[in-house]
């Protein structure tokens, strides 16, 4: 990724070599476009480093010509030029200066400032045009650097989101899978593999989702529902493990995409134990009901008395 500060420092150095400037500084406009803030420089004297490196330039007399119009502004008598009459230049006295606009997409985003400490340096129109072109070319560098930075931020965000999703996917106690509409498995977690009787997700991914169903027409009905509703919840269906054992699952499925690009994502729970417990409860209730129907009335009376605190037997 482009290091903007380092790139601007190198440009400052090349500008000094090209023009003979003794010191060159780069400034970028803040978001409110009220201040030019120092970001890089070349050949800055130690005595002026603290001031030039830490002092922003607020709106000054040269502002309309440079920041608004995008023109190169120069002076060979900075101390007496009203366009350069602001405190920073008085704190670091110098003879000549050139302000070059740094243009990004037609808008000034910063400046280069060239300094000659004691030399009277004039800039002719052709040199001014050349310096303006340099500012525009560096603006392209800045724009590309911003695009790269934004792309990097988006990439990192996408990677973080993917990592978070993968963590949830892998640690989910329920079976989770994604498959195409025709049943090709795209992804599944370890819980789904175990639920299907496999040791590894890779083994489950070799199977087609149609093979999970004890009755494949159940998947037909699921896909019909997803085609119109997008999401199906609490869907109970019979699946089979790798060894042929049938079991019941509760599924929440979601359709992702449309048409030929559609696929489904699903979360699956094995509810066989719950189903067996409910069946056992129903059988127990039936046994108690049958027992009550076959007992003589007197025995039932004694049971009722026992609930009141007395003995079961007379």
Q: Is residue 225 part of a domain?
A: yes
Buried b (16+ CB within 10 A) or exposed e, 152-171: eeeeeeeeeeeeeeeeebee
Would strands 185-188 and 175-180 be described as parallel, antiparallel, or unpaired? Answer: antiparallel
Query: Are 71 and 116 within one domain?
Result: yes
- Model pLDDT for residues 94-150, shown as the tens digit of each residue: 999 998 988 887 788 888 999 999 999 999 998 999 998 888 888 877 777 777 766
Query: Are 148 and 77 within one domain?
Result: yes
Query: Are 236 and 282 within one domain?
Result: no
**Which residues, including other chains, have CB under 8 Å from residue 195's CB and lie 6 or more apart?**
175, 241, 249, 268, 270
Q: Is residue 312 part of a domain?
A: no
Which of the residue ranges 26-30, 104-108, 254-258, 300-304 would you say has the lowest mean pLDDT? 300-304
Buried b (16+ CB within 10 A) or exposed e, 28-44: bbeeeeeebebbbbbeb
Total-model pTM: 0.48
pLDDT for residue 92: 84
Residue tagged 């079976």 (tokens): 175
- Model pLDDT for residues 38-86, shown as the tens digit of each residue: 888 888 888 777 777 667 676 777 777 777 778 898 999 989 988 888 7
Query: For the chain, what is the domain count?
Result: 3
Domain enclosing residue 282, as ranges: 275-307
Indicate the helix (H) or strand (E) that contains 314. Answer: none
Query: Are 256 and 202 within one domain?
Result: yes
């Amino acid at each position: 990724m482009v290091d903007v500060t380092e790139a601007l420092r190198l440009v400052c150095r090349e500008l000094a070599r090209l023009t003979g400037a003794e010191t060159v500084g780069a400034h970028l406009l803040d978001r409110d476009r009220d201040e030019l803030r120092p970001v890089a420089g070349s050949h800055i004297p130690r005595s002026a480093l603290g001031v030039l490196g830490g002092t922003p330039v607020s709106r000054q007399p040269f502002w309309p010509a440079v920041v608004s119009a995008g023109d190169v502004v120069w002076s060979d008598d900075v101390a007496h030029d009203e366009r350069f009459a602001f405190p920073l230049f008085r704190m670091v006295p110098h003879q000549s200066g050139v302000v070059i606009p740094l243009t990004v997409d037609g808008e000034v985003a910063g400046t280069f400032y060239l300094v000659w400490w004691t030399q009277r340096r004039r800039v002719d129109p052709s040199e001014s045009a050349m310096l303006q072109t340099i500012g525009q070319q560096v603006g392209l560098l800045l724009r590309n650097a911003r695009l790269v930075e934004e792309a990097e931020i988006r990439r990192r965000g996408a990677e973080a989101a993917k990592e978070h999703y993968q963590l949830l996917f892998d640690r989910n106690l329920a079976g989770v899978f994604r498959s195409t509409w025709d049943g090709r498995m795209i992804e599944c977690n370890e819980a789904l593999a175990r639920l299907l009787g496999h040791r590894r997700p890779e083994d489950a991914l070799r199977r087609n989702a149609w093979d999970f169903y004890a009755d494949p027409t159940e998947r037909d009905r699921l896909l019909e529902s997803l085609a119109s509703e997008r999401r199906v919840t609490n869907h109970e269906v019979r699946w089979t493990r790798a060894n042929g054992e049938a079991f019941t699952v509760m599924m929440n499925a979601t359709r992702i995409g449309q048409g030929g690009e559609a696929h489904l994502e699903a979360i699956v729970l094995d509810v066989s134990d719950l189903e067996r417990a409910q069946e056992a409860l129903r059988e127990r209730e039936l046994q108690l009901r049958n027992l009550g129907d076959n007992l003589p009335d007197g025995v039932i009376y004694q049971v009722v008395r026992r609930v009141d605190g007395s003995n079961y037997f007379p």
